[in-house]
Amino acid sequence: MSDPVPLTTDNPGQVASVPPPAPGRSRRLTDRGLAVGFISPALLLLLAMSVFPLLWALYLSFTDYSATRGGPANFIGFGNYTAILTSAQVHQRALTTLIYVIGAVGLQTVLGFGIAYLISRRTHGRGVLTTLFLVPMMLSPVVVGLFWRFMLDAQFGVINSMLGSLGLGQVEWLTRQRTALISLVVVDTWQWTPFIMLIALAGLTAVPKYLYEAASIDRASEWFRFRTITLPLVWPLLLIAVMFRAIEAFRLFDLVYILTNGGPGVSTETLSFHVYKVAFLGFNTGTASAYGILMVLVVIVLTQLYLRYLNKLKED
Amino acid sequence: MAVSVDEAVSTGPARDHSPPARRLGGRGRSGLEVALLIVLAVVMLFPVLWMIETSIKENRDVYAIPAKFFDFRVTLEHYRDVFVAPDGGRSALSVSFLNSAVVAGVSTVLATVLGVPAAWAYSRFAVKAKKDQLFFILSTRFMPPVVVVIPIFLMYRQVGLIDSKLGLILIYAAFNVPFTIWMMKGFVDEVPAEYEDAAMLDGYTRLQAFWKFTLPLLVPGIAATAVFALIFSWNEFVFAIFLTSSDDVRTAPPAIAGLIGGTTTDWGLVAAASVVFALPVLVFAYLVRKHLIAGVTLGAVRR
């Protein structure tokens, strides 16, 4: 590892031999130099690859620039923003995204917590079970999306095949408007339930045993124990997981791209997917930038809430 | 808030269950719970098993209606197709796997080299507005990739980084640096600063103290962090699909996704490619299972 900071030139001998006040001062100076030298390369990379692009997008959002047409970017004020905020298309995508986020994150939370609770009550095989349950989470969204697309195929998909052998009808999972959105929620739930489970399990195993013992001496019912001991203690951590998932779900793009490509019609187009269409298929770079900046604002608000809460939790 | 990750993930024996907890009807209920867990585990694992099964099925069994669960002919030709092109040369997929390894590897090294010293500095020194800086750093990781990719695309077009491995490496490094800093700060916090103070009393400079005493203690943490960064870069899709197009640069996720473009899709090949792609991730994830919570929450939640 090559550190970009050759700021410290004093050698050990010097530090040891000089009289007391001097090393203290020079050390503080080098500490400062070290801190700056160690932190700034990382920050510079972030400035170049995250902040600068966003500022550029912010600039473009006030213009009618198009990446393909080229030509100069004309300043059009808040035109793009008003166009987006009043667009019925955008409202529809926002609704789709909202349904998806609430549906998927809600299901994941219930299922994930349920599985974690069941696992936490086991004495044997906990590690093996946990490891097995975690597999979907580690897969790439590409693999997950492709594979579910195959399994949900109306003709030779294994899901319909199983439904058929149970005597149930075939479902056109990905080609009907309503079922397509449901499929998206199901696949996301399949992949991310382990995430909630993992964090809930950490919370559940951290609940001190003596609390339960005290409760059982008092002959408290199982439900009472769950409601008054388990849930309040696990809830803060669970909320962290839920918020994290909500932010991730809000930005969802890859799964939509692979699984349904937004269709049928526009029924599974999330906001991210719509931005992509405006930017890369419609070539309205200015409009897409404004759209993106609005999404970034939402993400910033959500992230701030998340980080504030995280911070509060850490300080307790 | 104390959260034990080891407890949740380690394969070691779990804590003893206190006898009073399973007094009334404990047996029956316990059995029901086990059954429920098994059913849930089967549901969660079925898609993965089905993927593996499809990858070793002969083509006509892949498309069989109704689906064949057990009585199918085993073949390894899909796996051969992943690596070998029809003309006997190297397949485009195998090139993309190589590209993925290069891009993920180099970007991880870059993120580690930039992130670890920064994490140490944040942990040890009184930096101005430290908390705000750290929050800002993590916020950049939450930006929607589709939004970031628009200006990045224009930027890369200007400087000629479109469709180059270097372009992907830089953007992946940038999205792994926040994670590396947050994750590593946790590990550095666990190493007492007194070690460095003691070394400095012995005459070492601060930098030497970091290099000779703290860094060796951080190696397991650095390894775990790097493995997560490697997984994130390896799995990444959005930047890859928008910033690269040619076969010699494309990484595996867009290459695998590209297999379903035409009128017919060779699902056996898709399955085999997916298995080859996912296997290293699962192995690596297993190796860092102790740090999984910190890893998947980008270093925000830890013990």
The ipTM, to two decimals, is 0.85
- Is B95-252+279-296 in CATH node 1.10.3720.10? yes
Q: Are residues A164 and A133 in the same domain?
A: yes
- Place B13 in a pLDDT band, splitting at 50, 70 and 90: very low
B3·A237 Cβ contact <8 A:
yes
**Same structural domain for residues A45 and A177?**
no
Q: Yes or no: say if B259 and B266 are a contact pair by the CB < 8 Å rule.
A: yes
Q: Which of B2, B120, B293 sits opposite A198 (nearest CB)?
A: B293
Residue A109 shares a structural domain with residue A180: yes
Q: What angle do CA A51, A54, A56 make, to 5 degrees?
A: 110
Please tell me the predicted confidence (pLDDT) of residue B85.
84
Q: Of the ranges A57-66, A116-125, A132-141, which one carries the lowest mean pLDDT score?
A: A116-125
Chain A residue at shortest CA distance from B206: A31
Q: Using the beta-carbon criterion (under 8 Å), do B257 and A48 form an inter-chain contact?
A: no
Contact (CB<8Å) A240/B54: no
Q: How much is the pLDDT for B11?
A: 41
How would residue B295 be classed by pLDDT, with cut points 50, 70 and 90?
confident
Residue A137 shares a structural domain with residue A18: no
pLDDT digits (tens, 9 = 90+) for A278-311: 988 888 889 999 999 999 999 999 998 988 888 8
The predicted model gives A45-66 an average pLDDT of: 91
Residues in chain A within 8 Å Cβ distance of B9:
127, 130-131, 198
Of chain B, the percentage scoring pLDDT greater than 90 comes to 51
Same domain, yes or no: A158 and A34: no
**Pairwise CA distance, residues A282 & B99, whole Å:** 30
With respect to residue A6, please indicate whether it lies within any of the assigned structural domains: no
Regarding whether A311 and A246 lie in a shared domain, the answer is yes
In a domain, A22, yes or no: yes
Q: Are A157 and A261 in the same domain?
A: yes
Residue A145 lies in a domain: yes
pLDDT for the residue numbered B3: 44
Nearest-CA distance B183 → chain A (Å): 14
What's the pTM value of the predicted model, to 2 decimals?
A: 0.86
> B270 pLDDT exceeds 60?
yes
pLDDT band at residue B26 using 50, 70 and 90 as cut-offs: low
Is residue B228's pLDDT more than 60?
yes
Of B37, B143, B271, the CB nearest to A118: B37
Say yes or no: A56 and A85 in one domain.
no
**B117 vs A3: CB contact, 8 Å cut-off?**
yes
Residue A310 inside a domain? The answer is yes
Lowest-confidence pick of A173-177, B138-142, B279-283: A173-177
Tell if the CB–CB gap between B9 and A288 is shorter than 8 Å: no
Q: What is the mean pLDDT of chain B?
A: 86
pLDDT in tens, A228-243: 888 888 888 899 899 9
Residue of B nearest to A47 (CA): B174
Domain count, chain A: 2
Smallest CA–CA distance, residue A68 to chain B, in Å, is: 10
Position A296 in a domain:
yes
Q: Do B146 and A45 touch (CB under 8 A)?
A: no
pLDDT of B16 reads 44
Q: Does the beta-carbon distance from A272 to B144 stay under 8 Å?
A: yes
Instruction: Supply the pLDDT for residue B71.
Output: 78
User: Does the distance separating the beta carbons of B14 and A124 come in below 8 Å?
Assistant: yes
Residue by residue, what is the 3-state secondary structure of chain A? CCCCCCCCCCCHHHHHHCCCHHHHHHHHHHHHHHHHHHHHHHHHHHHHHHHHHHHHHHHHCCECCCCCCCCCCCECCCHHHHHHHCCHHHHHHHHHHHHHHHHHHHHHHHHHHHHHHHHHCCCCCHHHHHHHHHHHHHCCHHHHHHHHHHHCCCCCCHHHHHHHHCCCCCCCCCCCHHHHHHHHHHHHHHHHHHHHHHHHHHHHHCCCHHHHHHHHHCCCCHHHHHHHHHHHHHHHHHHHHHHHHHHHHHCCCHHHHHHCCCCCCCCCCCHHHHHHHHHHHCCCHHHHHHHHHHHHHHHHHHHHHHHHHHHHHHHC
Tens-place pLDDT, residues A172-213: 888 888 889 999 999 999 999 999 999 999 889 888 888 888
Nearest to A142 among B17, B116, B257 (CB): B257
Query: At how many degrees (to 10) do helices B26-55 and A177-205 cross?
Result: 130
Contact residues, chain B, for A148 at CB < 8 Å: 47
B174 vs A164 pLDDT, higher one:
B174
A25 and A105 share one domain: no
The per-residue pLDDT for B14 is 43
The enclosing domain of A262 has a CATH number of 1.10.3720.10
Query: Shortest CB distance from A216 goes to which of B20, B154, B267?
Result: B20
In a domain, A71, yes or no: no
Reference B300, options A132, A37, A229, A245; nearest CA is: A245
Q: Identify whether the C-beta of residue A196 lies closer than 8 Å to the C-beta of residue A119.
A: no
CB B239 within 8 A of CB B168: yes
> What residues does each domain of chain B span?
95-252+279-296
Residue B303 confidence class, pLDDT cut points 50, 70, 90:
low
- Is the Cβ pair A142, B174 closer than 8 Å? no
Pairwise pLDDT comparison (B303 vs A67), residue with the higher score? A67
Please report which confidence band the pLDDT of residue A26 belongs to, taking 50, 70 and 90 as the band edges: low
Contact A140 B138 (CB under 8 A): no
Q: Give residue A102's pLDDT.
A: 96
Residue-wise burial string across A280-314, b where 16 or more C-beta atoms lie within 10 A, e elsewhere:
beeebbbbbbbbbbbbbebbeebbeebbeebeeee
Contact residues, chain B, for A216 at CB < 8 Å? 20-21
**DSSP 3-state of B5:** helix
Mean model confidence pLDDT for chain A: 85
Residue of B5, B82, B100, B207 to mutate when probing chain A, most A C-beta within 10 A: B207
Residue-wise pLDDT tens digits, B33-50: 889 998 999 999 999 999
Confidence of residue A25 (pLDDT cuts 50, 70, 90): very low
Q: Which helix (H) or strand (E) holds B104?
A: helix B92-124
Of B40, B48, B296, the CB nearest to A195: B296
Number of neighbouring beta carbons within 10 Å of residue A86: 9
Instruction: Tell whether the model's pLDDT for residue B293 goes beyond 80.
Output: yes
Distance from CA of A223 to the nearest CA of B (A): 13
Do A48 and A120 have their domain in common?
A: no
Q: How confident is the model at residue A114 (pLDDT cuts 50, 70, 90)?
A: very high
Same domain, A108 and A52: no
Q: How far is B208 from B187, CA to CA, in rounded Å?
A: 19
Encode pLDDT of A207-228 as tens digits. Answer: 888 888 888 788 878 888 888 8
Closest to A279 (Cβ–Cβ): which among B112, B142, B150? Answer: B150
Residue A96: give the domain boundaries: 79-315
- Output the pLDDT for position A292: 92
Inter-chain contact A35–B127, Cβ cutoff 8 Å? yes
Q: Which member of B1, B113, B281 has the closest CB to residue A138?
A: B281
CA of A178 to nearest chain B CA: how many angstroms apart? 23
Residues A186 and A249 in one domain: yes
- Whether residue A55 is contained in a domain is answered as yes
Record: contact A53-B207, CB cut-off 8 A: no
Is residue A44 very low, low, confident or very high in pLDDT (cuts 50, 70, 90)? very high
Residues of chain B found within 8 Å of residue A117, distances taken between Cβ atoms:
none
Residue A9 pLDDT: 45
Which site among B44, B124, B212 would you substitute to test the A interface, given the most A Cβ atoms closer than 10 Å to its Cβ? B44
